[in-house]
Structure 1
């Protein structure tokens, strides 16, 4: 499908913070995607947790596999809507680069440590990774990505942080949070593809781990109707040996219907709003990419189920608390002895200035850790083993 008028055209990009000559064989968005894939932060995602900690099993999702699933869903939907697929892929692959070890528990712990120093938010940290923390190029810090990719990475931003971004980059990626306008359709799509992916794979990982059951999921209409449809088509899946295929088929059907719902709902919204450019999309007071009202209501029920039965399951909760302990005690240890940090972070922390205080440098260092590196560092610095 040709690129639609409301899509982000790489030939009309707002550009990079540091000017570079164009690549001879790749568009700017393809170049962004490739830089992300080759980044240190992207490689670390393979050892960062999604729900289950990295040591709890080899087949559970990690931040890397999650990001790949978001990219796949995003590209499929983008192709049907005439959006820029390479931009969608770049945003999807980069959206979790700023996530801490130990998932949301690690983020919560680091935010608590940074409460008096501007807090910590993983979307803002992902932008910080691609803007400043990656060290690959001699002419600039970060990856020097296009505005459109950076816009999509920054999904959420509190007003104080947006004001700081605007002061440093007038009219840049922080502006829309002050004006209450929208990002590009590609950015909106990645935000929704993220939700679709983690709902599906958290069901998969939750059932395969034994923490939730197919019987419990009968109360969730968004999943159960596809379980029943799979059984109707393939009755043999009701047997114990067919349960794994039953789970996979129900999730496949659920994902497909969600994708088709997003395509139909978004196409209708686009027809009504009739934006003639990507900037016309940005000027709107509401997003255009979304679920139908009925599916959105069902997705809310699913989220509540997962929160109650999986994310707050005693086993997951215990591991989360242990992760919080590791992050909090690492933060205290590096504050006390910044020279223990590697890769130049220790030297920067010892020479910290008010514009970049020691606490932020420590937070950057911890946020970049994988689960297993954080665990090893914690044991080295404290002498305590939190995980068996």
Structure 2
């Protein structure tokens, strides 16, 4: 499979010598995966919000467990359709590294406060982490090039391969229910050099096939698993859905033009699945097993349909920029219905809305106080960046980098230390 990827795809920004002869032999994309697995930013995902905060329950997903599940789905899809599983899995493991504390809620605040230095976007921050902040390799001029991943892997990690000024106007909502107020883009202006290297030889702004696999896996995972988390938390009962409310949520958040009959047909189809529940979840082992069978069947249903549609679209090979992943329109509607269920029963509650407002205030305070106090309020590596920054915009970017690196819990504790509240 590696022979489907040419030398340019396997190239690194800084060439690396072969490993010592007594080290295990690993191919280029295997080394990429290992670097992301061992990155400090990956470990921090364990304390970052997915939908409900990591402290909400021992069962609910955090950003790390979500990323591991996305990686498993991405690897299976990649193997099925013929692209390199290690590339797709690595992209899935990395896809949320740039998320700040409190998920998209924190992202929204940082984007507003970072206007003077080019905004904030979680996917652009992921590229920045992989190519600068998560240090492993330095170039000849002494600058960090991050994990020094291959071109193909970096490209696969880039969900929005364009600059902020090229992005479409925001609309709709994120997977956790927060409104999209910022533009979706994949690179900040001061990271443009590595982005240009990464996209060398690519015409247009389309994302590569492996990035499409990662994006699908993310969509599948959170559409299914958010419902599972809601069921275990006692917020969702699939045997007693308020169809009017679910349809309204689907239209308000995801598919504005979806008709009642179409959405009802999806719910009717779901109800015909052997694993769809006929009695409320009771937290027993048998109940948990039934719930796991349902999530497995839904993931298989979605991924199988995409695999079949992709194979029907052409002969392949399905790699890099030579093909596209085909997601049938019906599958998109089915995933939207699951998201609508979670939206109504989990994401729209008054308690959650109030909590999110407090989180935004906290992130805002951190940026303001750290900006005023400078290096004294920053971790040593960010303090060095702050001192070396050439202007106010560059210093603001360093503060944004620091706040984005925090977990939910470390953001709360850092806020208490810096503000006394």
Class of the TM-score when normalised by the shorter of the 2 chains? 0.7 to 0.9
Distance in 2 between the 1:111 and 1:224 partners? Answer: 41
2:275, 2:297 within 8 Å by CA — same for their partners in 1? no
Aligned to 2:182: none
Question: 1:21 Cα shift?
Answer: 2.4
Once the two structures are TM-superposed, the CA of residue 336 in structure 1 deviates from its matched residue by: 1.0
Choose from 128, 149, 153 the match for 1:149: 153
Aligned counterpart, 1:168: 193
Equivalent-residue separation in structure 2 for 1:63 and 1:270 (angstroms) = 35
Closer/same/farther in 2, CA of residues 355 and 369 from structure 1, 3 Å limit: same
Are 2:9 and 2:151, in contact at CA under 8 Å, matched by a contact in 1?
yes
Change in CA separation of 1:74 and 1:159 when aligned onto 2, cut-off 3 Å: same
How far residue 56 of structure 1 moved from its aligned partner, in angstroms, is 1.4
Task: Tell me, in whole angstroms, the C-alpha distance in 1 between the residues paired with 2:392 and 2:201.
Answer: 24
Task: Give the structure 1 partner of residue 379 of structure 2.
Answer: 342
Whether contact under 8 Å (1:137, 1:143) holds in the other structure is yes
Secondary structure of 1:172's counterpart equals helix
Give the corresponding residue for 1:381: 418
Gap change, CA 1:78 and 1:174, over 3 Å in 2: closer
Q: Secondary structure of 1:55's match?
A: coil
Q: How far is the alpha carbon of 1:311 from its aligned partner? A: 2.3
C-alpha offsets along residues 61-97 of structure 1, whole Å, 9 cap, x if unaligned? 1111111111111111111112101111111111111
Q: Partner of 2:217 in structure 1?
A: 193
Q: How does 1:50-89 map to 2 (within 5 A)?
A: 50-89=50-89
Contact 2:227 2:341 in 1 (8 A): no
Q: Which secondary structure does the structure 2 equivalent of 1:96 belong to?
A: coil
Give the aligned partner of residue 267 of structure 1.
Answer: 311
Corresponding residue for residue 284 of structure 1:
none
Q: Cα distance, 1:355 vs. partner?
A: 8.9
How far does residue 223 in structure 1 lie from its aligned partner after superposition? 6.4
2:405 is the counterpart of 1:368:
yes
Post-superposition offset of 1:354: 3.1
**Counterpart mapping for 1:200-219 below 5 A:** 200-214=224-238, 215-216=240-241
Asked whether 1:17 is paired with 2:22, we answer no
Ranges in structure 2 where 5+ consecutive residues have no aligned partner? 166-184, 247-262
Contact residue 70 and residue 221 of structure 2 kept, 8 A:
yes
Q: Which moved more, 1:132-141 or 1:220-229?
A: 220-229
Distance 1:299 1:229, change over 3 A: closer
In the other structure, the counterpart of 2:356 is 320
3-state DSSP of counterpart to 2:274:
helix
**What is the Cα deviation at residue 303 of structure 1?**
3.1
Q: Deviations over 1:165-186 (max 9, x none)?
A: 7852474346799x53423321
CA distance in 2, matches of 1:34, 1:193: 20
Distance 1:4 1:136 in 2: 24
Paired residues, what number?
Answer: 369
State TM-score, norm by structure 2.
0.79
Distance 1:336 1:289, change over 3 A: same
Q: Give the deviation of 1:217 after TM superposition.
A: 7.1
Does 2:46 match 1:46? yes
**Is the 1:211–1:313 Cα contact (8 Å) retained in structure 2?**
no
Q: Could you tell me how far apart the structure 2 residues matched to 1:347 and 1:261 are?
A: 50
Deviation at 1:110, TM superposition (A): 0.9
CA distance in 1, matches of 2:28, 2:2: 18
- Shift in alpha-carbon separation, 1:12–1:335, aligned structure 2, 3 A: closer
Query: What value does the CA root-mean-square deviation take over the aligned residues?
Result: 2.9
Contact 1:54 1:372 in 2 (8 A): no
Q: Report SS of the residue matched to 1:51.
A: coil
Q: Where does structure 1 lack aligned partners over 5 or more consecutive residues? A: 282-287
